[in-house]
Amino acid sequence: MCGILAILGAHEASPARRDRILALSRRLRHRGPDWSGLFVGQENWCYLAHERLAIIDPASGDQPLYNGTKDIVVAANGEIYNHEALKKTTKPHQYHTQSDCEVIAHLYEDVGEEVVGMLDGMFSFVLVDNRDKSFIAARDPIGITPLYLGWGSDGSVWFASEMKALKDDCERFEVFPPGHIYSSKNGGLRRYYNPPWFSETYVPSTPFDALALRAAFEKAVVKRLMTDVPFGVLLSGGLDSSLVAAVASRHLANTKAANIWGKQLHSFCVGLEGSPDLKAAREVASYIGTRHHEFNFTVQEGLDALSEVIYHVETYDVTTIRASTPMFLMTRKIKALGVKMVLSGEGSDEIFGGYLYFHKAPNKEEFHHELVRKIKALHLYDCQRANKSTSAWGLEARVPFLDKEFMDVAMAIDPAEKMIRKDQGRIEKWVMRKAFDDEENPYLPKHILYRQKEQFSDGVGYSWIDGLKENAERHVTDQMLKHAKHVYPFNTPLTKEAYYYRMIFEKHFPQQSARMTVPGGPSVACSTAAAVEWDKAWAGNLDPSGRAALGCHDAAYTAKPAGADANGAAPHENGHATGDAFPKTSKPIDANIQKSQAVH
């Protein structure tokens, strides 16, 4: 990931202006610690600042990037996976670097704003055309990469990867919507990504083809092995991350990356000592043959990191913060090993109905429309968590499930085939499990392939959520919660935990524009109205954790984990891991070590 900051229509030439823009860009340097760049347009009408995380062409791919005549300039965040194909199938151009993002400037020279529909990848970018002083900004179809849009009091338009670069200088700012382009020529935002399955009335009818779904997913994973730096995979031991790891491990040997970094995939998992994820991930890693790294954290370490997590992830949403904190802690340790890119499993639950309330879907039409609603909101939840938790330490997360081509295949499947039918042996995400249930050449052990997901943050350890709630009880009184609607009239917190996160958020981001970027409404189970509509028993639940599964989950969430005490804590001190948090086998990666032991 990288960090971008753009100010268009500024027309201020003072040294103080340049210094201010450099200072604001430094707020994004955690996203791109490898190099900084700044382009200033003629007559100071535009500024493009870039903080680079070097993944492709580390030696010469510094940004901003230019077309052949250098009158088109682009600052981009993300990866364009089809850049080599685009170079071969479009007009020949003189390329200055091997960067995957340089193709954007050249394609714009050929086709103008239609360039956005040609890109296959995750991206946010701002492009300036100095020939007529016009500009565009765009964000990838699902919003894997973050982008914010703001307006200055001087009439300038601002864009930034994170709102911390806008909050003090813009009169107003908001989330830049995924799948949209902002055009100065055509008067603002318009949607460019609108596949048939996005429609509120369309219901797909394509029969489930296991081999077609498997092939599409394998292609999505393989294209994300495009890298010039050490990489690995986040492995929780659940279905989604395990499939990503299994496919990546199986195909790694045939990639360019294998020639550079070796043929053994590295995998990473985090959890409280004895957590379900650690155990399951260890088994998967052994089965598929990765070089596995386990990281422990304690509840107290997680609590100590909450303010930093909220600052980086830029939200007060309860489930996002619960899940972001272990990811934030793990990323720091991964980066210490010299790794700069990881594959991750976000998006599967939204595409296939993996959340347990989908058990209650009354028909295939409502099942499908709820999938679409959740996919359209991913940029406010899982994408934001995965991107910003990792970018906080200069690590890039790639998400194969949100591949544009794969989603077209998966979302064309008749939703009747995706629905949960326990009487027929179909649990959630059955089509994905079936697609990779290969008897002759198994991708995963059967019990892992058909393992039911641990809900939300429980996988890292059952005492994590309990610890967060107990911490909130110490900081938020009954009286504070009683008057919450007066203190926070917008998105009023309904629990002490939500109130505590809101307090921290407001310290970092006191602006009204900032609080409005976070999804609103009462915190109900699974954060969706559909859960309540399908089963009224969800309505009274204020905890968004999947512990409110109401009998859907095979394991009772009131049951204690093995070895737990009477309060449900693990047998070590108050549920906290003890001893060295770093695994003894983890050592920093050196570029000169043998390929067989290099990070992938």
Residues contributing to the annotated binding site: 100, 234, 270, 344-345
Structure tokens at 579: 């001893």
What is the amino acid identity at position 525? A
CB 429 within 8 A of CB 349: yes
365 is written with which tokens? 């039409």
Q: What DSSP designation does 168 have?
A: T
| In the block, residue with structure tokens 């360039």 | 115
The candidate with the shortest Cα–Cα distance to 587, out of 272, 229, 293, 281, is 293
Strand 266-271 versus strand 231-234 pairing type: parallel
Ramachandran category for residue 325: left, alpha or beta (phi over 0 → left; psi -120 to 50 → alpha):
alpha
Residue type, 561: P
Known binding residues for ATP are 234, 270, 344-345
Crossing angle for the helix pair 382-391 and 318-336, nearest 10 degrees?
Answer: 30
Residue 5 pairs in a beta bridge with: 49, 160
Catalytic residue among 2, 46, 170, 269: 2
Closest by CA to 461, choosing from 587, 572, 311, 340, is: 572
Residue 2 annotated among the catalytic residues of the structure:
yes
416, 415, 434: which is closest to 425 by C-alpha?
434
Q: Quote the CA–CA distance of 592 and 600 in Å, as a whole number.
A: 14
User: CB pairs under 8 A, 24+ apart, for 363-369?
Assistant: 364/203, 364/414, 364/415, 364/416, 364/418, 364/419, 365/203, 365/415, 366/530, 366/534, 367/415, 367/418, 367/419, 368/197, 368/203, 368/204, 368/415, 368/418, 369/200, 369/203
The three-point CA angle 300-303-304 to 5° equals 85
**Residues paired with 342 in a beta bridge:** 232, 397
The catalytic residue positions are 2
